[in-house]
Amino acid sequence: MSTRKHIIVGFVMVIALVLSGLTTAGFSQDKYPVRPIQAICQWRAGSNVDLALRMLAEPIKEILGQPLVVVVKPGGQGIIGQNAMAKAKPDGYTIGLAALGPMVTVHLYTPKPPYKMTDFEPICGFYENPGGVGVRRDAPWETLDDFIADAKRNPMKYKIGLHVARGPVGMAIKKFILSSGIKVTIVPFAGGTKSRNAVLSGDVDACALHIGWVLRDPDRLKLLELFEKKRSPQLPDLPTAREKGRDLIMGARTGFVAPKGTPVDRIRILESALKKVITDPGFGKTLFKKLGMAPAFSSHEEIWEEWQDTYRRFSKIVVELRKAEKEFKELQKKK
């Protein structure tokens, strides 16, 4: 073979090797995930959201081959952690559990929120934890109508504990107070656990309670009515506000999001992996038993539509509450 042919053959082999290397590198870059995935928790360490994320870590690792690392970023009623999610690199390695307050209702109260709903890419729904007005098991009221009638006979006698006043819970409870025409004292708390403890200690007479609290402590707590569209399978005898003619909804599905711009194929990989875990009967049973959360998987498209509907619904409530803001302030001055 001539020297020229040797050079040409050698050149072709080098090009082939280079292309092969680039192709291999390309496949390596496209493989997902190749490193741990961060899951931002916008509530404090040890909160139900934090614990739920940590419960997911092991089964997700078995499916994806990479661990789910929980990063706690509390503060601002969830806004700090939510903002961190929005500003993260959209590469599929940072996701978060989007709660309704910092995800949806922040835009209804904050003039210039640090992020928009459109700054996120929905992944899927995770769980639902509906609730309503809760009291001690030995309280004299068996239904919410009983409580309303008593409160009307005794204006300003009773106290209702409230956490996350500008979130879905707070808006539902405030709307209930306004629409029922009762006069009560609203006592703010930093979290649901504190308001629940205040009911148990007798410092307040009622509070917003999620169904999980009641199911885990049925000897000491009870719900008077469920602020939801339909009855809960866990408490089938508990009537809903809708059945009583009250347009009150306190919760909706909590789900996962990623920063806007995260590749669609990676969103789908995450959605598929999370679906396997969330819909697994064993995982669901453990989640409910330990945290009182009912698994409620919904697709990328379904959870986004539900959040949009929630935004529209609470937008109307905010208008009503703003009109009645003076009335609330006056109520708190009276004892």
Same domain, 72 and 160: no
**DSSP labels, 287-323:** HHHHH-PEEEEE-HHHHHHHHHHHHHHHHHHHHHHHH
Kindly state whether residue 18 falls inside one of the protein's structural domains: no
pLDDT tens-digit map of 36-95: 999 999 888 888 889 999 999 999 999 999 999 999 998 887 889 999 999 999 999 999
Residues 124, 255 share a domain = yes
For residue 246, being part of any structural domain is answered with yes
Residues 45 and 121 in one domain: yes
* Contact in structure between 213 and 169 (CB atoms under 8 Å): no
Residue 10 lies in a domain: no
Helix (H) or strand (E) holding 285: helix 281-291
Phi, then psi, of 171 in degrees rounded to 5: -65, -40
Q: What is the pLDDT of residues 136-193, one digit of tens each?
A: 999 999 999 999 999 999 999 999 998 766 667 777 888 899 889 999 999 988 777 8
Q: Is residue 197 part of a domain?
A: yes
The better pLDDT of the pair 17, 117 is held by 117
Q: Is the pLDDT of residue 197 over 80?
A: yes
Tell whether 66 and 209 lie within a shared domain: no
Q: Is the pTM of this model over 0.95?
A: no
Question: Looking at the structure, do residues 240 and 287 belong to the same domain, yes or no?
Answer: no
Is 27 a domain residue?
no
330 part of a folded domain = no
- Same domain (yes/no): 230, 145: yes
Contacts of 48 (CB under 8 A, 6+ apart): 212, 291, 292, 293
How many of the other CB atoms lie within 10 Å of CB of 310? 19
| Count of Cβ atoms closer than 10 Å to residue 299 Cβ | 15
Q: Which domain holds residue 87?
A: 37-128+251-317
pLDDT at position 293, please?
81
The residue with tokens 């408490």 is 235
Q: Are 177 and 323 in contact (CB under 8 A)?
A: no
CB 224 within 8 A of CB 207: no
Helix segments in 168-220, DSSP class H: 168-180, 192-201, 211-216
Residues 217 and 276 in one domain: no
Rg (CA), the chain: 25
Q: Are 77 and 166 in contact (CB under 8 A)?
A: yes
Residues 255 and 99 sit within 8 Å (Cβ to Cβ): no
Residue 299 located in a structural domain: yes
Same domain, 201 and 137: yes
Residues whose CB is less than 8 angstroms from the CB of residue 97 and which lie 6 or more positions away in sequence, other chains included: 39, 40, 41, 42, 49, 52, 53, 126, 254, 255, 256
Sign, CA dihedral 314-319-320-321, equals positive
Residues 43 and 139 in one domain: no
Question: In this prediction, what percent of the chain has a pLDDT beyond 70?
Answer: 84
The amino acid at residue 70 is: V
Whether residue 313 lies inside any domain: the answer is: yes
Q: 215: helix, coil or strand?
A: helix
Tokens standing for residue 48: 């139900």
Task: Give the amino acid at 163.
Answer: H
CATH number, domain with residue 278: 3.40.190.150
- The total domain count for the chain is 2
Q: For position 236, which CATH number holds?
A: 3.40.190.10
Q: What tens digit of pLDDT does each residue of 297-306 get? A: 999 999 898 8
